[in-house]
Amino acid sequence: MGGQAYPQKRLNDAWTLALGGHFHDTGAGTATPRAYEYAWNDDVLTGNQFAGVFTSATESVTSVLDTSGPGTPLVIFNALNVPARRPRGGLSTSLCRREEHACDLVHRRSNAGTVRRWKLLFNAKVPSTGYAVYHVITGNAAGKGSELKVTPSSLENARYRVQLNGDGDVSSIFDKSLRKELLATPIRLALSTDSPKFWPAWNMDFDQEQAAPRAFVSGPAKIRIKESGPVRIALEVTREGEGVQPMCRQSAWPRVMPATASSLPTASTGAARRRT
């Protein structure tokens, strides 16, 4: 596309450095502390190399894209091997208006606390490993109505309706297109004993793996609506079990899978293994 020459050597050097950190003991957690300092440093160097290559490639591609039109052009890249239509983000200091796409504006302050910045979310349709051009237009938001619904105990999009119980567990995932409940029992966060006799960094004793969980993270849960917009909705669930207090965020967006969950434990016990 009239860009720079393919950076074969730069990529080879970066991958060589990255693969050095995939050594068995480094990956299993049994290397020496100093070895991890070297591995972390190599990861940063590798990340910078890949980021530089990607930035240069994007500059070459965007230089020949048609970004003409009203407002500020925004080029979106999809790294997946399939076409994607999911919320994408960008930063803007003003409101946005899209004629065809609803927008979420999430307020973010700078570290100084003096500059008002907003994170813009919208459903971008982008081809596989390709780019798409959108335009951000300043003005009053006038997006179309959203198919997303959120309450302190539920998330819903065009296809799925997800329910949470008082313990903070996902108790129901109903597929509206199939008219079918997908869960037989609630999805629970289990605490199991994982203390093998040998090589605890990678071994798991069969009897402990087969044993029933000794406990579950349970309620009463503190549930609050984290996001409620036309593009993405989210619930934040906080609860406790054996000194472990994971904060789980359940989120959903239009026309895709019902929810994604990420658990962020704030404390842990030595013999606790969390699994879902």
Half-sphere exposure (Cβ direction) of 209: Cα atoms closer than 13 Å: 5
Q: What is the pLDDT of residues 122-143, one digit of tens each?
A: 778 888 989 989 888 877 655 5
Kindly report the backbone phi and psi dihedral angles of residue 227, in degrees, each rounded to the nearest multiple of 5, phi listed first.
-140, 140
Asked if 56 and 7 count as a contact pair (C-beta separation under 8 A), the reply is yes
Given a cut of 80, whether residue 252 has pLDDT beyond it is no
pLDDT value, residue 118: 67
Tokens representing 207? 């009897």
Tokens representing 235? 């619930």
Q: What is the pLDDT of residues 153-187, one digit of tens each?
A: 999 998 999 999 999 999 999 999 999 999 999 99
Q: Is the dihedral of CA 53, 117, 155, 145 positive or negative?
A: negative
205/187 Cα distance (integer angstroms) = 24
Q: Tally the residues of the chain.
A: 276
- By mean pLDDT, which of 106-115, 138-147, 262-271 is the weakest? 262-271
Residue 132 to residues 62, 65, 94, 125, 177: CA-CA distances in angstroms? 10, 9, 22, 8, 30
